[in-house]
Copies of this chain bind each other. A is one copy, B any other.
Amino acid sequence: MARFLGYIAMSVDARIADSNQGVEWLDRHAPGDADMGYPEFYGGIDALVMGRTTYDFVAAQPEWPYPGKMSYVVTSRPLTSERDDVTAVEPDFARLRDRVDADGRKNVWIVGGGQTQRAALDAGMFDELRVFVLPVVLGSGPLIFADGAQAGAKLTGHKVWPGGVVELIYAFEG
């Protein structure tokens, strides 16, 4: 069975983007010389799950940042991509889990955003969540988890990175 991993930055007030879905604040409030363990994390995953808003944002960038690893895009709208490492899936996380297993994926990054992280949480699909708390209050923008039910977690680790970024690592109960 695949492991599902979260790895995401948020503000002190748990926003993962500003009110325009922008992420420029990430550069402004995280130092460029700390890699936050990303190369090692990214090297260890073999597939990604992302919501449609996240996909559209990423796909609009000059370069696709996840070449060679299958990106499962959760969407109920038609999606056309020339890439063979992008595939649209219905917003049904039980089926998504089966699909990922059938495809032989081992370590899957739940990239975001908040709606997708919420759906994954509700489906009990988070094996590990790494949250990087940046030293800024954003004041608006989507939260790390969209509104929904409570979910207890267990702190399994933490690390303080340069620039005052605090990484918190959680496993979820049940």
Q: Which residues of A pack against B, CB within 8 Å?
A: 12-14, 18, 25, 28-29, 118, 121, 131, 133, 135-140, 143-145, 147-155, 158, 160, 164-166, 168, 170
Contact = CB atoms under 8 A, between A and B. Distances in A.
Contacts of A160: 155, 158
A166 B14 CA distance: 15
Given A137-B121, A144-B13, A158 B166 contact: yes
Contact of A166 (B140, B149, B165, B166): B166
Contact of A150 (B133, B137, B148): B137
Contacts of A136: 150-153
Contacts of A164: 153-155
Contact of A12 (B14, B29, B137, B147): B14
Nearest to A152: B136
Contacts of A154: 135, 164
